[in-house]
Amino acid sequence: MSQQKQQWVATEAFSEQHVVDFLDADPEFFERHPQALLKLELTHASGSAVSLVERQIAVLRDRNGELETRLKDLIAVAKKNDALVRKMHEFALTLIATETTTDCIKQLETGLRSQFSADRAALVLFEQPALGQEELKRFQFLHIIDRDDPDLVPFSTFLRAGRARCGQMRDSQRGVLFGDDDDIGSVAMVPLGDKAQRGFLVIANADPDHFHPGKSIDFLERIGQLVSVALSRA
């Protein structure tokens, strides 16, 4: 380090930030003083000295790589969202086309499996729909339970909140709807109607991370709205 540089570093009144601020305020400084630019020495990651232009190119290349990565991530998210919108559209058309409660429940179960990766599903209704006893037996995923039934105590926090949620299912909750099934890794619980007035829907997947707590619940709540309206219509 030269004596002059040592004097600059040792001067408390003049810091590196002062240099940065000065160059920010006067970007044409090196155009007026090209000799100062020639004296700059920068060190490459390999340890060898490189010119300022080479360093700038390397920095721009790194930034370009970061932007490309971000762009790829955005494109991947956009494609995923587009696929989800198509699934929602097909799901809605299927439910709208049903004319009876039986068809509605049948298409609901089929749609959850084919469109939304449901390994298991459970539809909980607080009031019995217009179905005969024989029809009720056909739907193993349909549960008619009074809202005040003690069996629903494990779901009390979810029902009070009235919002969709994702994550792990407690053993007490799983026991009510799925018995001793150990293949349920994660679930999405979706209220039907305002504050789950009509009931709720549980979509289960074997993958513990499929319905993780950080997953967006917007599309889940839309599913809940679609199902609630379709059941009311049927």
pLDDT of residue 41: 63
pLDDT of residue 126: 92
Structural tokens at position 112: 């959850």
pLDDT of residue 10: 45
- Amino acid sitting at position 35: Q
CA 37 to chain centre: 48
Q: Under CATH, domain 98-233 is a member of which superfamily? A: GAF domain (3.30.450.40)
pLDDT of residue 6: 47
Instruction: Locate CATH 3.30.450.40 in the chain.
Output: 98-233
pLDDT of residue 124: 93
Residue segments in the chain with a per-residue pLDDT below the cut of 70: 1-14, 37-55, 132, 136-137, 234
Q: What are 150-177's pLDDT values in tens digits?
A: 999 999 999 999 899 999 999 899 999 9
User: What one-character DSSP code corresponds to residue 168?
Assistant: P
